[in-house]
Amino acid sequence: MHKESQDSLVGQEYEVEVGPVAHGGHCVARTESGRVLFVRHALPGERVVARVTEGESTSRFLRADAVEVLEASKDRVEAPCPFAGPGKCGGCDWQHAKPGAQRRFKGEVVAEQLKRLAGLTPEEAGWDGTVMPAPGDKVPAGEVPAWRTRVQYAIDAEGHAGLRKHRSHEVQVIDRCLIAAPGVTELGVEKREWPQIASVEAIAATGSADRQVVLTPKPGGRLPIVELDKPVSVLRVGEKDQRVHRVHGRPFVREVAAGRTWRVAEGGFWQVHPKAADLLVEAVMQGLMPRKGDMALDLYCGVGLFAGALGERVGDKGAVLGIESGKRAVEDARHNLQDLERVRIEHGKVEQVLPRTRIDSADIIVLDPPRAGAGKQTVQHLASLGARRIAYVACDPAALARDLNYFAEAGYKPVTLRAFDLFPMTHHVECVAILKPTGNRV
């Protein structure tokens, strides 16, 4: 459709056949000259006009948006959210796809990452290839489950709340986020102005009425008086030290999952889907099959979710060690699990703390590392402990596959893998892999 130049290609358009889905919420296409395009807002098998959003004539690949659909896929629906689409909010990747197709795409991505980075087929990973929705999330095409219990709003120069555009600091002002849980929507963040504020995090706890707003002022900004429609605690992120300070109400929310109540302080990490904590605990416990008297490790333990479930199962003759790098999360975990005398929580990075413990064996291990994964050094250390089963909880299939490859080198292989769609309308997918030692352990 045009002759390529030696400078920026942003704004140039190509008519392309859309190929397979790729990790990151886009599909792969190629121009007539063979240049690779990563195209958002398209679906496999479609013919679209793709407009370049990033890239130069010397780039290995270009990023683009499908701005016109010439031949639509049967999986396409009209995006329910008016703020979803090219150049708009970057939060949802698949609003233009039927829910079943979204889960199929995620399964294809997981399978591709396993094959490319770990050399595993789904069958070799113990996976049937399906991505399961959370209970209650099966909705008709054209509808959106309201699941997100924590929403980070960006504030534009005029003080209006919105969400970031894809790979941009630009703010798409919105009047409602369709995937936000009812408890978040009820706070009415989008309906008021936020002068001198850079961002607002709205939190609606699961299983309790706790609501929280975390405000980050602009440099030199003054904290406004916050009067929301619902009783809510308000926290402020410090301008200089980035610490969170209480302004009004409790400095924590109470989340309910796995038969316990969990204190999560100062906007700390908790699963954003209301069913996620229960689903993941169930999957991990079914895979590990803890026994009375087991020595268990919970690595990257957060506020103690898996450590608590393990502690209740290993009993008085067992023991659980949790390791977490976030200081406040450690404080919360110790508070949450104070009734379990055989559970100990240590503060620090896993790769630093675990060697210092001088633990040379463990019966079962669960790890829920950050998006980058655990890494080769930590995997090798875990494999040396001789656990009969290891549960790996992953929010990124690429990191999971890389670490599974390291585990294979160290003598562990996955025997089951389950994938859950805990982030509907986005490209994210959660996996739980259960590993056992092979006969070739080193």
Predicted confidence (pLDDT) per residue in 263-283, tens digit: 999 878 999 999 999 999 999
Residue whose token pair is 């969170």: 244
What band does 222 get if pLDDT is binned at 50, 70 and 90? confident
Among 60, 70, 88, residue whose Cα is nearest residue 18: 70
189 DSSP assignment: G
Q: Which pLDDT score, from 0 to 100, does residue 442 have?
A: 47
CA 260 to chain centre: 23
- The residue assigned the tokens 């994210």 is 428
Which of 228, 188, 182 shows the shortest CA–CA distance to 174? 188
Cβ contacts of 414 within 8 Å, gap of 6 or more: 120, 124, 125, 126, 127, 404, 407, 433, 434, 435
Domains and CATH numbers, the chain: 1-76 (2.40.50.140), 106-137+274-437 (3.40.50.150), 150-255 (2.40.50)
User: In angstroms, how far is CA 333 from the centroid of its own chain?
Assistant: 21
Nearest to 48 by CA among 102, 96, 4: 96
| Contact criterion met (CB below 8 Å) for 430 and 276 | yes
pLDDT cut 90: percent of the chain above it: 87
Residue 289 CA to chain centroid, in angstroms? 25
Residues 6+ apart with CB under 8 A from 439: none
What number of helices (H) and strands (E) belong to the chain? 8, 22
pLDDT digits (tens, 9 = 90+) for 69-96: 999 999 999 999 999 999 999 999 999 9
Above 80 in pLDDT, residue 231? no
Residue 202 has a pLDDT of 95
395 as an active site residue: the answer is yes
Q: Is a pLDDT exceeding 70 seen at residue 4? A: no
The model's pTM is 0.94
Q: What is the pLDDT of residues 331-375, one digit of tens each?
A: 999 999 999 999 999 999 999 999 999 999 999 999 999 999 999
* pLDDT band with cut points at 50, 70 and 90 for residue 440: low
Q: Which residue has the tokens 């703020």?
A: 83
Q: Rounded to whole angstroms, how far apart are CA atoms 283 and 14?
A: 45
| Annotated catalytic residue, options 89, 177, 395, 431 | 395
Give the confidence band of 228 by pLDDT, cuts at 50, 70, 90. low
